[in-house]
Structure 1
Amino acid sequence: MEALLDAPQRPGPAAALEALMARGAAFLGTRYAILGGAMSWVSERHLVSALSNAGAFGVIACGAMMPDRLAEEIAATQALTDKPFGVNLITMHPQLMELVQVCLQAKVGHIVFAGGIPPAPAIRAAKDGGTKVVCFAPAMALAKKLVRSGADALVIEGSEAGGHIGPVSLTVLAQEILPVIRDVPVFVAGGIGRGEAILSYLEMGAAGVQLGTRFVCATECVAHANFKRAFIRGAARDALPTVQLDADFPVIPVRALQNQGTKRFLEHQAAVVQRYKAGELTKEAAQLDIEHFWAGALRRAVVDGDVENGSVMAGQSVGLVTQEQPAAEIIAELMAQAGAALARRSEGN
């Protein structure tokens, strides 16, 4: 009996889960090491502030916003929360450096660079201004390069994610990168919709997770009711990448729910390729024609509710979205699932 009393007591599931999240939470300045994925037209002031107020880390999707518009969105978000949040900037934006300055002037604590390798001047400006830099790394070589370039944290996003995707699944990327990259916190993303998965990646060495699809049906999200209903109805098998018909005309893969727009995109590609082969279009004009097909399509779906012709970008975790809930309830549910899974493992021992 004395031996049992003298034995070190294991921390409870909640404390053990917090310990696994400690590095990521400390980096973000939050209670939970959960980032909201930056989704254009979706990740704006209302959802971002709701996530941050609930103990997670909201991220504004700058997308194509101009500097004045971004400054307005940041200020509006700051009026709704005094908790930390970040801003996602697309590296190919023509006014990237100006957008970085907007973030610095507003004292945004974290800038997330996405959509390509961020230019060194942008990273340097952000860091010199006192902001933490987060970058996406879809491969080991790039992860190492970004760390050398000054990234303070990385996000590795698998092909299960919604929107623009890379070719490798998170299950493989996590095995490849998590055991090796230890100098900076590494967050994982793509296909995560339950707490059990969050726990598993934390135990593999992830500092935290990023979820996007799971938060689209947050009550605070301003997405059109039709857009949310499409998510609630959708299954994992419905969220597929766009298909490329001709190797000479590459299509950047985008994972979205299949609809009439998806079918028309295939028909459009075939018609454009035929016009090119008939000599009616140059190769450059044909490529631009294909790329412009989806122009404004995400806004049509998210804002206008045209989920048949717009782009309903969604990750494969869409099948785990079953109802509209407040952001705080979703986060509490995720943490409860992770805690329960950890408790079951402890009981098994």
Structure 2
Amino acid sequence: MNRINELFGIRYPIIQAGMIWASGWRLASAVSNAGGLGIIGAGSMYPNVLREHIQKIKQATDKPFGVNVPLLYPDINQLIAIILEEKVPIVFTSAGNPKTWTGTLKAAGIKVVHVVSSSLFAEKSEAAGVDAVVAEGFEAGGHNGREETTTMVLIPAVTAKVNIPVIAAGGIATGRGMLAAFALGAEGVQIGSRFVATPEASSHQNFKNAILDAREGDTMLSLKKLTPVRLIKNHFYDLVKAAEDNGADAAVLKEILGRARAKTGMFEGNLSEGELEIGQVSALISQIKPAAAVVAEIWEEFEAARKQLTTY
């Protein structure tokens, strides 16, 4: 047992990221039932949909679970109200100032974790009173830090600056990757891309197949003048890249992005025009497996690799 296991009351310090268009109650409950921490991704949900998913996960598991809330969400007040009403035990916040809601959530007895991309933001999160931080490196899928700090550099930088537990994220999909993160000072890992390639993820099958086909170099950080996001290269990415190469400003990029681009790609399966958010570690994913099998495989490989290293 380490501090992450104790904080969340889970068997394995493996956290499934709250990814948009992927992390509904089915995926989150499967991970929680397997001994990790399943998280519902509220970023792609209307408030009434989030309530439905919270109520369904309570029926599907008696284990701890969480909700990820992007603090820039337009209806954030409604989401927080639902989380409080439904007595969600754990909340991961991202994309915003942790000072805004941490006090409110903790006053209700909720464990709070904030996602950061630098040691400076980790220190600010600790000062805001969060229970732990997710240090997410540049390799991660979805929205990312502008600094492009890799996980290998970020984790020791953050652990040197804060006293609260650090959860590593970005480029982790295997037990060996988990062990490397622990060697750098992390006490848990948050994994996104690997859990998208599961039957329980709500993403479209076309998107899951694209993840299996991805190789090194097939994802790139894009839209840095708006909100940086790592994408699989496709026609939409090519449009953005051409515009950025021509010096497009944020207004032009916003027009290209349009509305519902992520839903079009990841949920509806349009691999040409959609926004396909996934991490670099997609290059290591070759099979769609049940979420419980993913948790077991990661933990078994972690233990085997740890024992192997003790022989050196």
The TM-score normalised by the length of structure 1 is 0.84
- The equivalent residue for 1:254 is 229
Distance 2:273 2:279 in 1: 18
- The equivalent residue for 1:137 is 116
CA deviation string 1:168-227 (max 9, x = no partner): 111111121113322x11101000111112112223321100000011111212221111
8 Å contact kept, 2:99–2:128: no
- The equivalent residue for 1:149 is 128
Among 273, 289, 299, the residue aligned to 1:309: 273
Shift of 1:68: 2.2
| One-letter identity of the residue aligned with 1:87 | V
Among 235, 260, 274, the residue aligned to 1:296: 260
Distance 1:222 1:145 in 2: 34
8 Å contact kept, 1:100–1:125: no
Among 266, 291, 303, the residue aligned to 1:339: 303
- The equivalent residue for 1:265 is 240
The aligned runs of 1:140-289 (5 Å cut-off) are 140-166=119-145, 167-182=148-163, 184-242=164-222, 250-267=225-242, 273=248, 287-289=250-252
SS at match of 1:237: coil
Change (3 A) 1:149 1:177: same
Distance 2:311 2:44 in 1: 50
Shift of 1:126: 0.4
Matched, 1:51 2:31: yes
CA deviation string 1:12-67 (max 9, x = no partner): xxxxxxx4xx2111112111111111111101111111111111111111115333
Distance 2:81 2:183 in 1: 37
8 Å contact kept, 1:272–1:290: no
Shift of 1:253: 2.1
CA deviation string 1:307-342 (max 9, x = no partner): 121111110100111011111111111111111111
| One-letter identity of the residue aligned with 1:259 | N
8 Å contact kept, 2:142–2:231: yes
Distance 1:270 1:342 in 2: 45
Among 264, 284, 292, the residue aligned to 1:320: 284
8 Å contact kept, 2:99–2:125: no
When Rg is computed on C-alpha atoms for both structures, the one with the higher figure is 1
| One-letter identity of the residue aligned with 2:233 | Q
Shift of 1:272: 9.3
Change (3 A) 1:32 1:290: same
8 Å contact kept, 1:91–1:119: no
SS at match of 1:256: strand
Distance 1:161 1:210 in 2: 10
Shift of 1:288: 3.5
8 Å contact kept, 1:259–1:308: yes
Structure 2: gaps of 5 or more residues: none
Distance 1:313 1:204 in 2: 26
Structure 1: gaps of 5 or more residues: 1-18, 245-249, 274-285
Distance 1:330 1:231 in 2: 15
8 Å contact kept, 1:51–1:327: yes
8 Å contact kept, 1:272–1:289: no
The TM-score normalised by the length of structure 2 is 0.93
- The equivalent residue for 1:70 is 50
What count of residue pairs does the alignment treat as equivalent? 309
8 Å contact kept, 2:31–2:37: yes
Sequence identity (%): 32
